[in-house]
Amino acid sequence: MSGVVDDGTSAIVELSSLWNRYRSMVKSIGAFASSAGLFLVLTFVTSGAQASEHEWRQFRGPESNPVSSNRRLPEKWSKTQNVEWSVPIPGRGWSSPIVTGGKIFVTTVVTDGTSKKPQIGTEYSNQYMAELLKQGLSQEQAMERVAERDLEWPHQVMLHYFLYCVEEKTGSVLWKKEFYSGRPPGGRHRKNSFASETPVTDGKLVYVHISNLGLYAFNLKGRKVWERSLEPHPIYLNFGTGSSPILNDDQLLIVNDNQRQQFIAAFDKKTGETIWRTSRNIGDKAEQAPRSGWSTPYVWSHGMRTEIVTIGPGDAVSYDLKGRELWRLAGPSAVSVPSPFAYDGLLYIDGGKSRPLFAVRAGASGDISLGKSDQSNEFVVWSAPRGGTYLPTPVAYEDGLYALTETGILTRYDTKTGKVNYKERLDREAGAFTSSPWAYNGRIFCLSEEGKTYVVSAGDKFRLIHVNSLDEMAQATPAIVNDRLLIRTESRLYSIRSN
Strand partners, 336: 293
The answer, yes or no, to whether residue 23 has pLDDT greater than 50, is no
Dist. CA 353–CA 370, nearest whole Å: 18
Query: Does any domain span residue 2?
Result: no
Query: Does any domain span residue 471?
Result: yes
The answer, yes or no, to whether residue 33 has pLDDT greater than 90, is no
Range of the domain at 139: 10-496
Query: Does any domain span residue 408?
Result: yes
Dist. CA 181–CA 173, nearest whole Å: 21
Dist. CA 381–CA 403, nearest whole Å: 18
Which of 112-116, 121-125, 342-346 shows the lowest per-residue confidence on average (mean pLDDT)? 121-125
Quick one: the chain helix, strand, coil %, rounded to 5? 10, 35, 55
Please check whether residue 338 is in contact with residue 389, taking contact to mean a CB–CB distance below 8 angstroms: yes
CATH number at residue 234: 2.130.10.10
Phi and psi, residue 49, nearest 5°: -140, -135
Dist. CA 60–CA 348, nearest whole Å: 14
Report residue 286's pLDDT band, with 50, 70 and 90 as the boundaries.
confident
Task: Convert 140-160 to b/e letters by CB count within 10 Å (16 or more is b).
Answer: eebbbbbbeebbbbbebbebb
Other CB atoms within 10 Å distance of the CB of residue 304: 9
Q: Model pTM? A: 0.91
What type of residue is 277? Answer: R
The answer, yes or no, to whether residue 11 has pLDDT greater than 60, is no
Dist. CA 440–CA 281, nearest whole Å: 39
Mean pLDDT for the stretch of residues 84-90: 98
Query: Does any domain span residue 3?
Result: no
Please check whether residue 452 is in contact with residue 474, taking contact to mean a CB–CB distance below 8 angstroms: no
SS3 (DSSP) at 415: coil
* The residue count for the chain: 499
Please check whether residue 305 is in contact with residue 364, taking contact to mean a CB–CB distance below 8 angstroms: no
Please check whether residue 402 is in contact with residue 393, taking contact to mean a CB–CB distance below 8 angstroms: no
Nearest-10 Cα torsion for 225, 212, 447, 162: 40
Please check whether residue 101 is in contact with residue 56, taking contact to mean a CB–CB distance below 8 angstroms: no
Question: Who's near 324: CB < 8 A, 6+ residues apart?
Answer: 278
What local confidence, expressed as pLDDT, does residue 49 receive? 38
The answer, yes or no, to whether residue 21 has pLDDT greater than 70, is no
What value, to the nearest 5°, has the Cα angle with vertex 207 and ends 206 and 211? 155
User: Comparing 443 with 18, which gets the higher pLDDT?
Assistant: 443
Query: Does any domain span residue 5?
Result: no
Query: Does any domain span residue 1?
Result: no
Report residue 246's pLDDT band, with 50, 70 and 90 as the boundaries.
very high
- Show the beta-strand stretches assigned E in 136-172: 151-152, 159-167
Other CB atoms within 10 Å distance of the CB of residue 54: 11
What local confidence, expressed as pLDDT, does residue 51 receive? 52
151 DSSP assignment? E
Report residue 285's pLDDT band, with 50, 70 and 90 as the boundaries.
confident
HSE-CB of 378 using CA atoms within 13 angstroms: 7
Please check whether residue 468 is in contact with residue 77, taking contact to mean a CB–CB distance below 8 angstroms: yes
pLDDT tens for residues 146-188?
A: 999 999 999 999 999 999 999 999 999 999 999 999 999 999 9
pLDDT tens for residues 421-450?
A: 999 999 999 999 999 999 999 999 999 999
What type of residue is 339? Answer: S
Other CB atoms within 10 Å distance of the CB of residue 322: 10
- The count of domains in the chain is 1
Query: Does any domain span residue 4?
Result: no
Query: Does any domain span residue 448?
Result: yes
SS3 (DSSP) at 311: strand
The answer, yes or no, to whether residue 24 has pLDDT greater than 90, is no
- Show the beta-strand stretches assigned E in 51-183: 67-68, 83-88, 98-100, 103-111, 151-152, 159-167, 173-182
